[in-house]
Structure 1
Amino acid sequence: MLQLRSNETLDHGDRGWLKARHHFIVSADGNPANGPLGALVVWNDDEIAPGTGFGRHSHADMEIVTYVRQGVTHEDSVGNVGRTAAGDVQVMSAGSGISHSEHNRDEAPLKLFQIWLRPRQRGGAPRWDTRKFPKADRAGHLIELASGDPKTTETLTMRADARVLGATLLAGTTLTHAPSAHLRHTYLAPAQGAILVNGQRVAVGDGLAALDEPELTITAMEDAESILVDAA
């Protein structure tokens, strides 16, 4: 089953310094059709104005994956400070509790996807990590950016039954994706361009939810970049 979550159906927020589209309902008065997909509970498409950002705030018992479309600076209560550039990924396991801030130190607007997943277990020591993923390495195919498999060494690790993948496609090219049997829920959103997913058009600003789809065929209608999450 496929559900297109078009830009028009998403909840929007505008604080001046922050413009956000919420692919998943985040408040009681939001669109009830855009509910969680298993462990996947938040997917925000944020644009942060230059010289601004999220001040120090706290989280617990949540896996937070940030896909940067355009630089972000991170600082947290366990001593991590880092800058994640466009195309790169950071993962924060909030665990028993962590406070952090995220700021746009550049002169251009910062654009990012922020993805929240419920962890397998509550608690645990908080942690943060980031990794570069050159877009050339994912040309024409999906590569894993973050994984809930604790044995993984090639990607960022998280404590959720899920994985995050990314791909870039030239116009007219196609790839197929078969979710793992235990990861029944899939959500996909273009970071650039427009694609067809099993015949359904999905453009920047839209998202597509899939439940129990044995295979997804993704075709680029124009040069495109997409992020996909499989979750239990």
Structure 2
Amino acid sequence: MITLRKSSDRGFADHGWLKSYHSFSFADYHDPRHMGFGNLRVINEDRIAPGTGFGTHGHRDMEIVSYVLEGALAHKDSMGNGTTIQPGDVQRMSAGRGVMHSEFNHAPNDTTHFLQIWILPDRQGVTPGYEQKHFDDATKRGVLRLVASADGREGSVSLHADASIYAGLFDGDESAALALSPSRKTYLHVARGSVEANGRPLSAGDAALLVDEPKLEVRNGRGAEVIVFDLAP
């Protein structure tokens, strides 16, 4: 079964310095029909205005993944990490038993556009951790490239969660297929452009939720960038 969730059906918050679309219930946006999918809890599509950002704040017991689409995101945390996340980077922060961090767009003129992703961990109270890796466009062109997984296989970022994340870029006749397990759930988010997922047309911000499907086929992309989640039920 495939269920489509259109971009326009997401929650939206405009804080002036931050414009954010919420795929699942978050902050002041609450929809009991959309509290998450499997162990995927949050996908926020955020745009941070120049010279602004999230001040220092805390998290616990969550795997937080940042995926930058445009601009740059400066990260600082209580573990001593201070990095800049740019397009192609995948950052994972394990909040575990507690971590403080901030995220800022230092650019004077450019907006930072990124996906903030939360996945429920497979256990609570882990030691907070951080990992960041770069996956250039060539490695994602016309394929679903594994970028995060529970065991860090294939050079992916490691997660304390029963989940895998794939990223792909698709144009024209480029296509890719992913075999799916009937015991799991799959979520495809279109970060930009347009594409077909198992024959269903999707545009930027749209998602496809797959349950009991034998495979996922991605094709007919037009400037498409997709993120695919293989999830615990």
TM-score (norm 2): 0.93
Mark the CA change 1:84 to 1:180 in structure 2 (over 3 Å): closer, same or farther.
farther
Whole-Å separation in 2 of the counterparts to 1:28 and 1:108: 27
Cα RMSD (Å): 1.5
Whole-Å separation in 2 of the counterparts to 1:29 and 1:162: 25
Per the alignment, residue 10 of structure 2 pairs with: 10
Residue in structure 2 matching 1:115, options 114, 117, 125: 117
Q: How many angstroms does 1:220 deviate by?
A: 2.6
Q: How many angstroms does 1:212 deviate by?
A: 2.3
Q: Which consecutive aligned stretches of 4+ in structure 1 deviate over 6 angstroms post-superposition?
A: none
How many residue pairs get aligned? The number is: 230
Q: How many percent identity over aligned positions?
A: 38
Whole-Å separation in 2 of the counterparts to 1:168 and 1:28: 33
Q: Secondary structure at 1:8's aligned position in 2?
A: helix
Per the alignment, residue 133 of structure 1 pairs with: 135
Q: How many angstroms does 1:15 deviate by?
A: 0.2
Q: How many angstroms does 1:19 deviate by?
A: 0.5
Q: Summarize the alignment of residues 192-211 of structure 1 with structure 2, pairs less than 5 Å apart.
A: 192-211=192-211
Q: Secondary structure at 1:34's aligned position in 2?
A: coil
Whole-Å separation in 2 of the counterparts to 1:155 and 1:132: 9
Q: How many angstroms does 1:145 deviate by?
A: 0.6
Q: How many angstroms does 1:200 deviate by?
A: 1.3
Q: How many angstroms does 1:180 deviate by?
A: 4.3
Per the alignment, residue 124 of structure 1 pairs with: 126
Per the alignment, residue 61 of structure 1 pairs with: 61
Per the alignment, residue 170 of structure 1 pairs with: 171
Per the alignment, residue 105 of structure 1 pairs with: 106
Greater shift after overlay, 86-95 or 199-208?
199-208
Q: How many angstroms does 1:181 deviate by?
A: 5.4
TM-score (norm 1): 0.94
Mark the CA change 1:29 to 1:165 in structure 2 (over 3 Å): closer, same or farther.
closer
Q: Which amino acid in 2 is paired with 1:104?
A: N
Q: How many angstroms does 1:153 deviate by?
A: 6.1
Q: How many angstroms does 1:172 deviate by?
A: 3.0
Gaps of 5+ in 2: none
Per the alignment, residue 186 of structure 1 pairs with: 186
Cα contact 1:9–1:31 (8 A) shared by 2? no
Whole-Å separation in 2 of the counterparts to 1:146 and 1:116: 13
Q: Secondary structure at 1:193's aligned position in 2?
A: strand
